[in-house]
Structure 1
Amino acid sequence: MDRTQPASMQDVAKAAGVSPQTVSRVANGSTAVRPETRQRVEAAMEKLGYRPNYAARALKHGRFKDVGVVMFNMTNYGNARILDGIAGAAVDEGYAITVHKFGEGKNRTLQSAIERMKQLPVDGVIVILEQHITDFDEFRPTKDLPVVIISEDPANYCPTIDADQYGCSTAVVDYLLSKGHKTVYHIAGPSSSRAAESRAQGWHDTLEQLGLPIPPTYLGDWEADSGYQAGLALAHDPNCTAIYAANDQMAYGAMLGLQAAGKRVPEDVSVVGVDDSLAGLVPRLTLTTMRMKFNEIGRESFAMIKRMCEGAKVPAGVKTVVPAELVERSSVRELDN
């Protein structure tokens, strides 16, 4: 065998003492192969460095068994956990994933991202859409490449899934009011974030519907330093007894800012965050938070796109909502009435 050329299916068949059809069955994950034969074929594949021809597999089966994932940011907590959920579900089902980032400027559209994915060997695409984008309402996927969007808002022409960002906020406000607080202050995420916008809207609407005072919003950037600055400022507001921050980093920063200004948490001010992203990172963590089930969102989005790739219909214009979960620690106290 010429070692400068990649091993072929025939090479593996010869080395394992089986037919090329048996090698094909093993490469495609067929169960119609005896375990001892499978082991012999897999050993030959490994020894020869054989790689299945995925283009040929796609021609035969009509699928690459690869799903594209398009996202803005791969490092923030929510996106990383969603991506981990997608990847885990893909491994379980024998799929791979191909990750692509949104472009800049005029290329920062759903249409341009999907056009890029059409050039790659993927069967469908999951879009993690945490920022506003110009063609969200108009975008229509083509019939040959299904799309699922992880988005706060339902899309007109694609199925969508996301955490209950709005409901998370109503639950936090209700929880703090049940502890005797007269209103709740909010440290919001950046205006470019769809999740931050929905969390702020849920906070505002809940207070408004109850006829309670709506304090000014403090605009943060998801980072702990912005929460720290908000905490320093709010420490001097005598009406501030409860703070809801749009993520845990800002909430933890706010706690440190309050303490630096001489306030105690929770004796003077109660604080609640979102995401439960600090568990395992901050020792003796006291922050009460709303845990978003990002991994579940990732796994369910993969299940949706897999069904679509296999020919099933998933309704467009319908959003699957994954509720958040309250995780009580010790950053909230009940006020004496």
Structure 2
Amino acid sequence: MEYHQPASMQDVAKEAGVSPQTVSRVANGSNAVKAETRQRVEAAMKKLGYRSNYAARALKHGRFNNIGVVMFDTAAFGDARILNSILNAAVSEGYAVTVNTMGTGASRTIECAVSLMKQLPVDGVIVVMKERTADFDTFTPPPDLPVVLVREDPLESCPTVDADQYGCSQAVVDYLIAKGHKTVYHIAGPSSARSAQSRADGWRDALESRGIPIPSLYVGDWEADSGYQAGLSLAHDRNCTAIYAANDQMAYGAIQGLIAGGKRVPEDVSVIGVDDSLVGIVPRLSLTTMRMRFDLIGTEAFSMVRRLCEGKRVPSGIKTVIPTELVERDSVRAV
């Protein structure tokens, strides 16, 4: 395949019969160009395949109109939904998005990830914190690059936003206890996941605040098979009438494990999950769940970093929490 040199501003000016300065004004969205001239220049740009130069735009306006996003896992359900909402918000505001993943080993820190992004043409960075890092509580963003973290915990050095992971668990326990259950068993996510820790802490504290003994904790890996094994084991625990799984995949697996162990859901055991990720995947979905508003998390994270890039103030040290929503279906029953 033969490749050609990219068209220059001078090439577009010659094709449109205007000056390079006029092409520059059109490329940078200036209003100081007549409509007919603008149309002629845009037609020439399209014909020649001209692309605006990021560096030139930044020199003129002080911004690239490009946001960096750093993630641990772009395939995980919640992270993918957050990324998608960031992309949608960016497009609607005329921004591009550059995506990268966290490093490995000693380089798996927020500082390293942000330093790498700083070498790219980005105005600000959003870091989606799925796991703890060595600088999880000590990170300070560079003075010339705005950073927003998607994490539940507040940080004095930069703004943070996330779902109410801890409060979600408190609401689940309240809901199940109100249904008459004496206690609630929990299938947690992996210990490396910050959200799993927060959900487990919320579950434990909610039971302790009511003076209810804490049942055995089952730790899964977010996958349905780990939920199945926990459900199969809990099917033989006569004290288990309610299970709270840290995500819907494990909750669905737990239901299958309970059934395989001879229990009925919800007649014998009630099950509730988190994230509402199985809609459109599992037919006739009966799983009650706490819906995480990942779309709102991504939209708010982008809004925060955009405001910072535009020189506006966004408070640090205060967490912006996006509430969860209870979605009642048929996997929970009063006792």
Shared fold (TM-score, shorter chain, > 0.5): yes
Deviation, 1:19, is: 3.7
* Equivalent position of 1:305 in the other structure: 305
2:20 alignment partner in structure 1:
20
Work out the CA distance in 2 between the residues paired with 1:99 and 1:234.
41
Given that residues 68 and 99 in structure 1 are in contact (C-alpha distance below 8 angstroms), is that contact kept between their aligned partners in structure 2?
yes
Q: Paired residue for 1:295?
A: 295
SS in 1 for 2:308: helix
Moved over 6 A (4+): none
User: Which residue of structure 1 lines up, in the alignment, with residue 276 of structure 2?
Assistant: 276
Deviating more after overlay: 243-252 vs 110-119: 110-119
The 1-side partners of 2:290 and 2:12 are apart by 53
> Once the two structures are superposed, what CA deviation does each residue of 1:275-302 show, in whole Å capped at 9, x if it has no partner?
0000011111000000101111001101
- How far the C-alpha of 1:36 sits from its partner, in A, is 4.8
Q: Give the superposed CA RMSD.
A: 1.4
1:314 is matched with 314
Letter in 1 for 2:193: S
Return the offset for 1:45. Answer: 1.2
What is the distance in 2 between the residues matched to 1:41 and 1:163? 46
Q: 3-state SS of the aligned residue for 2:298?
A: helix
Q: Which amino acid aligns with 2:65?
A: K
Can you list the C-alpha shifts for 1:216-265, whole angstroms capped at 9, x where unaligned?
A: 11000000000000000000001111100000000000001011111111
Do residues 157 (structure 1) and 138 (structure 2) align?
no
1:138 positional shift: 1.6
Which residue matches 2:207?
207
Partner of residue 141, structure 1: 141
The aligned counterpart of 2:240 is 240
Greater shift after overlay, 216-225 or 34-43? 34-43
How is 1:1-337 mapped onto 2 (pairs within 5 angstroms)? 4-33=4-33, 35-335=35-335
Q: Aligned equivalents of 1:66 and 1:146: distance in 2? A: 12
Distance 1:39-1:285 versus aligned 2 partners, 3 A rule: farther
1:195-217 deviation digits (Å, cap 9, x = unpaired):
00000000110110011131111
| Range with bigger deviation, 286-295 or 12-21 | 12-21
Per-residue Cα deviation, 1:282-326 (whole angstroms, up to 9, x for no partner): 111000000101111001101100111111121211110000001
Contact 1:72/1:130 (<8 A) preserved: yes
Q: Which amino acid aligns with 1:132?
A: R
**TM-score, structure 1 normalization:** 0.95
Per-residue CA deviation, residues 46-68 of structure 1 (Å, 9 max, x unaligned), is 21010111101111111111111
Using the TM superposition, give the Cα deviation of residue 193 of structure 1 relative to its aligned residue in structure 2, in angstroms: 0.5
Q: 1:31 and 1:247, CA in 2 relative to 1: closer, same or farther beyond 3 A?
A: farther
List gaps (5 residues or longer) in structure 1: none
Give the whole-Å Cα distance in 1 for the aligned partners of 2:290 and 2:88: 23
Identity over aligned residues, as a percent? 71
